[in-house]
Amino acid sequence: MSGTSRPKRVLLYSHDSYGLGHVSRCRTIANAIVEADSSMSVLILSGSPVIGSYEFRSGIDFVRIPGVVKQIDTGEYDSANLRVGVEHTMEMRTRIIRDTADIYRPDLFIVDKEPLGLRAEVLPTLELLKSRGVPLVMGLRDVMDDPAQLAVEWEHKNVVPALRDLYDEIWVYGLPHLCNPMAGIDLPRSVTHKTIYTGYLRRDLPLHADIPHELEDNPGPFILVTTGGGGDGVDLIDWVLRAYEHDPNIPYGAVIVFGPFMSGAARESFKERASKFRHLRTLTFTNNLGALMDRAAGVVSMGGYNTFCEILSFDKRALIVPRTRPRLEQLIRAEAARHAGLIEMLDPERGRDAQVMATALRQLPQQGLPSDAIIPGLLDGLPNVCRLVGRRIAHPHRGPASVEGAATGEHLPVRARL
């Protein structure tokens, strides 16, 4: 990847205030970077309480910053574990992030999803590294939120000047003809020019892709029901269980993964209901969801970015039931994916009738596969990210990388245009 033999260092930031999505995406990118170049070192700054549960390749480590938790109904933050105020926690996080970057001295800094970090905690680090000539990259998922809401949020956070003045490139981990995360935002031409669409991030099975031992005696094909982190997955699990209670003869059983952030009371209630069915199994959490998904006849999910990438990667028939609060991100993604023929969708805003879910579960194993929809470059995200990392580190003081390689057949990411 790099044009020099000197070992290079990449710093990744993931605020991880809620769920598993950000840390999972950063882990995927970090693993791909060191696999592409074994001389690389990648350090992840993360607030996720479960980051230590994941396996990383050699050359990757992480710094766990004090956690905060977002209240799903209000969007406000509080300290996750420390008995101190959120302002004190944010001050600690800001200093740890900046001091880590100062000592680690990265050759490239990639910020995930939040351009200034949680409550602008990354701004001092961005300014420090910018003064040293370190390339700064903003990494965005394919959908952020409803454009009108995002415009208000970014105006309040003063995001656009940072994208214009601090960041060297903006990488969107998706394709523009499916979703444009910055649609509806009044952006300077310079920001649009340095935006690159990489394609979605393919997920592969690890070398030891064993299913959890609790499921080793699973008698037959199953539908995987996953809510990601689970903190906002209660309604989905309840709807699926009500479908089986309404129609006990649904041909396929289910493996239901609650997620580590679902409340204990909700988990215990769901376990009791599921235990009445021989073909329903439950898990709180697995760090190898891909192994389960690979074996599943279909997937029922809320359709967060990482689960969507796994559905595409393992070519699984999927039924998406998107969350609509506090963001419309999952709904926008699901509608675009359904229009492209990649998944089927149920809109929870139209009600949660048990018969509707039971019918959808019966039909799920007969759906078309995502691979039936021919979309060039759909899962090219990781090789493109690795190529972009290599170019940025090889020439850290140059402007945005140009789209090259057409003459050689090399598939490169799509650069955004006004």
208-223 residue pLDDT tens:
656 666 566 665 789 9
What pLDDT score was predicted for residue 408?
A: 37
CB within 8 Å of 180: residues ≥ 6 apart: 172, 416
Asked if residue 4 belongs to a domain, the reply is: no
Quick one: average pLDDT of 48-54?
A: 81
CA–CA separation, 194 vs 191, rounded Å?
5
Are 189 and 250 members of one domain?
Answer: no
Asked if residue 390 belongs to a domain, the reply is: yes
Quick one: average pLDDT of 277-281?
A: 93
Quick one: average pLDDT of 340-348?
A: 96
What pLDDT score was predicted for residue 409?
A: 38
**Enclosing domain of residue 169:** 9-202+379-415
Are 384 and 367 members of one domain?
Answer: no
CA–CA separation, 193 vs 173, rounded Å?
16
**How is residue 169 written in tokens?**
């490139």
| pLDDT surpassing 80 at residue 403 | no
Highest mean predicted confidence (pLDDT) among 220-224, 302-306, 347-351, 378-382: 378-382
What pLDDT score was predicted for residue 404?
A: 40
What pLDDT score was predicted for residue 78?
A: 77
> Parallel, antiparallel, or unpaired: how do β-strands 280-283 and 414-415 relate?
unpaired
CA–CA separation, 341 vs 292, rounded Å?
23
| pLDDT surpassing 50 at residue 24 | yes
What pLDDT score was predicted for residue 289?
A: 84
Least confidently predicted of 31-45, 66-80, 132-146, 359-373: 66-80
- Residue 322 is part of a domain; what is its CATH number? 3.40.50.2000
Quick one: average pLDDT of 195-218?
A: 78
CA–CA separation, 401 vs 194, rounded Å?
8
What pLDDT score was predicted for residue 209?
A: 58
Are 40 and 118 members of one domain?
Answer: yes
Q: How many structural domains are present in the chain?
A: 2
Give percent of the chain with pLDDT exceeding 70: 87
The b/e string for 156-178 (b: 16+ C-beta within 10 A; e otherwise) is: eeebbebbeebbbbbbbbbbbeb
Average pLDDT, the chain: 88
CB within 8 Å of 367: residues ≥ 6 apart: 298, 317, 318, 319, 344
**How is residue 387 written in tokens?**
């190529």
| pLDDT surpassing 70 at residue 145 | yes
CA–chain centroid gap for 26, Å, is 8
The b/e string for 209-223 (b: 16+ C-beta within 10 A; e otherwise) is: eebbeebeebeeebb
Query: Does the predicted model carry a pTM greater than 0.85?
Result: yes
Are 79 and 198 members of one domain?
Answer: yes
| pLDDT surpassing 90 at residue 69 | no
Model confidence band, residue 71 (pLDDT cutoffs 50, 70, 90): low
Model confidence band, residue 55 (pLDDT cutoffs 50, 70, 90): confident
What pLDDT score was predicted for residue 417?
A: 39
Are 157 and 52 members of one domain?
Answer: yes
What pLDDT score was predicted for residue 215?
A: 64
Tokens 């073909």, residue? 279
HEC assignment per residue over 289-353: HHHHHHHCCEEEECCCHHHHHHHHHCCCCEEECCCCCCCCHHHHHHHHHHHCCCCEECCHHHCCC
| Higher-pLDDT residue of 261, 31 | 31
Asked if residue 3 belongs to a domain, the reply is: no
What pLDDT score was predicted for residue 213?
A: 61
| pLDDT surpassing 70 at residue 19 | no
What pLDDT score was predicted for residue 400?
A: 37
Are 350 and 390 members of one domain?
Answer: no
DSSP secondary structure, 73-112, as one string = TT--EEESSSSS-HHHHHHHHHHHHHHHHHHH--SEEEEE
| Higher-pLDDT residue of 328, 22 | 328
- Residue 24 in 3-state DSSP? helix
What pLDDT score was predicted for residue 85?
A: 86
Are 91 and 185 members of one domain?
Answer: yes
